[in-house]
Amino acid sequence: MMRAFLGIDGGGSTLRVALVDDALNILAQVNRGTANPSVIGREASARLIQDAMREVLAATGIQPLAVGIGIAGASAAYASDWLLATVGAVLPGVPVAPSVDNEIALTGAHGARRGAMVLAGTGSVALAIDAHGERVQAGGWGYLLGDEGGGYWLTLEALRATARWADGADPSAEGLALRVLDAFEFDRPLDIIPWLYRQPPPTRDIAAQVGLVLDAAAAGDPAAGDIVARGAAALAVLARTVSARAGTEPEIRFCGGLLTADNPLSRALCRALGLTDLPLPLYPPVVGAALLAKQLV
């Protein structure tokens, strides 16, 4: 009988559920929209996760030996019971390793629960595992308190630059402002106000437009270049902080969609950390979740 393990990765924007074999090959995977219970509520989140689990299991017909799960907005530190109940409704009696999205990213990045990582996707966070196996985290405070260098923050800074340009306070931001107006299909800068302050807040829509900032920076736009430089500097602080607190100068890897691609942000962070090449993850977070599951058996 094939040994298989189910990994569930609920990042800030996308839910991924995958069944992997003993050699960590993905046998089947399903992707869905955000499963963050802080965004869509616990009931809707559980339903989305369970539906994706059932689809993966139906595609393979294989019963996993264990499940690993990490969901943004549902850290095992305060949502362990909910994570266990969500998985148990589909796979009763199967061992579950409840975690959090950044820990499964670290585990996948290193192929084991060790080392350090800095992540920039919708938000940003850095995490290290110290010599005693304890988590050391910096960042991850969410879009209201932090997430500097993440997709939401970078794009919001571009919106702020657009407002300054519209006020006549920053003529150098004209090129970036015109890109913003075009990407968001605003007829005039004042259109930003009702769009931005509506309820619920358009956090995902903002983060989804981060490409306009990176493209502008790559083209030499000074305002976009400044935003990227400040974002990279903030991410470097997070990375250095967790490495220092872990006490062993652990190997660091980059995670998240913004840092695992070659772009102005990832290159600037490499320079800030004195790295010559992008330290890419060995496996994606969904495989990291399956690795945590594998440790249970």
pLDDT above 70 for 76:
no
Q: Using alpha carbons, select from 214, 216, 218, 237 the residue that is nearest to residue 154.
A: 214
**Predicted local confidence at residue 191, as pLDDT:** 96
The SS3 of residue 15 is strand
- Whether the predicted model's global pTM rises above the 0.85 cut: yes
Higher pLDDT, 107 or 80: 107
Distance CA(68)–CA(4), nearest Å, equals 12
**Predicted local confidence at residue 152, as pLDDT:** 95
Given pLDDT bands bounded at 50, 70 and 90, which one contains residue 39? confident
Q: What is the pLDDT of residues 111-127, one digit of tens each?
A: 999 899 999 988 899 99
Q: What is the pLDDT of residues 2-12, one digit of tens each?
A: 799 999 998 76
Beta-sheet strands, E only, within 76-210: 96-99, 115-120, 124-129, 135-139
Q: What is the pLDDT of residues 141-196, one digit of tens each?
A: 888 998 999 999 999 999 999 999 999 999 999 999 999 999 999 999 999 999 99
Q: What is the pLDDT of residues 242-287, one digit of tens each?
A: 999 988 777 899 999 999 999 999 999 999 999 999 999 999 999 9
What separation in angstroms does the CA of 158 have from each of 105, 178, 232, 234, 235? 28, 10, 15, 16, 18
Give the contacts of 183 (CB within 8 A, at least 6 positions apart): 209, 212
Give the contacts of 13 (CB within 8 A, at least 6 positions apart): 33, 34, 121, 122, 204, 207, 208
252-255 and 115-120 strand pairing: parallel
pLDDT above 90 for 139:
yes
Mean pLDDT of the chain: 93
- Taking the domain 4-111+282-294, which CATH number applies? 3.30.420.40
The secondary structure of residue 116, as a DSSP letter, is: E
Q: Where are the domains of the chain?
A: 4-111+282-294, 151-273
Distance CA(132)–CA(247), nearest Å, equals 11
The secondary structure of residue 191, as a DSSP letter, is: G
